[in-house]
Structure 1
Amino acid sequence: MTTKGIFRGLPWWVTWIAIPVLVLAVFGGLIMSVIGFVVSLVFKALLLVVLIAGLIYVVRKFTS
């Protein structure tokens, strides 16, 4: 049975409102933890880039 067959007889509000709300209620914590992990990883990568750029700037300033 395909997904279109499952949702065929349901009203529009079940398909577009109730089911996404249930998915967010069940998997919301997981989704937020994954988003938090990705944001943390991007922040750490940007911090690493800034620190390396600062180190290169300081070394070039004092050695030239």
Structure 2
Amino acid sequence: MDNLLKSLPWWVKWIGIPVIALVVFGGLVASLISIVVGLLFKVIVFVVLVGALVFVVKRVTSGGSGGNRRDW
């Protein structure tokens, strides 16, 4: 295999083979990227919602502004 690659021109090794790999595995790479981005988005939404819930609970249990619980 090593002799085969050594006998090829540089543009085949550095341009041709990566382009063929992208064409063959491009759909797989795109789906993996979309899964990772979707998971990251869901994690960010989860963190924001948990933070908002903690903020609301702390505000309600501490009495909010002026310590008056009747505002809620």
Match of 1:24 in 2: 22
- Normalising to structure 1: TM-score of the pair? 0.90
1:43 aligned onto 2:41: yes
Code of the residue aligned with 1:45 in structure 2: it is V
1:14 aligned onto 2:12: yes
- Aligned equivalents of 1:6 and 1:52: distance in 2? 57
Superposed structure 1 runs of 4+ greater than 3 Å apart: none
Code of the residue aligned with 2:14 in structure 1: it is W
Identity in percent: 52
Count of aligned pairs: 62
- Normalising to structure 2: TM-score of the pair? 0.81
Code of the residue aligned with 2:25 in structure 1: it is F
Which structure: larger Rg? 2
Counterpart secondary structure, 1:10: coil
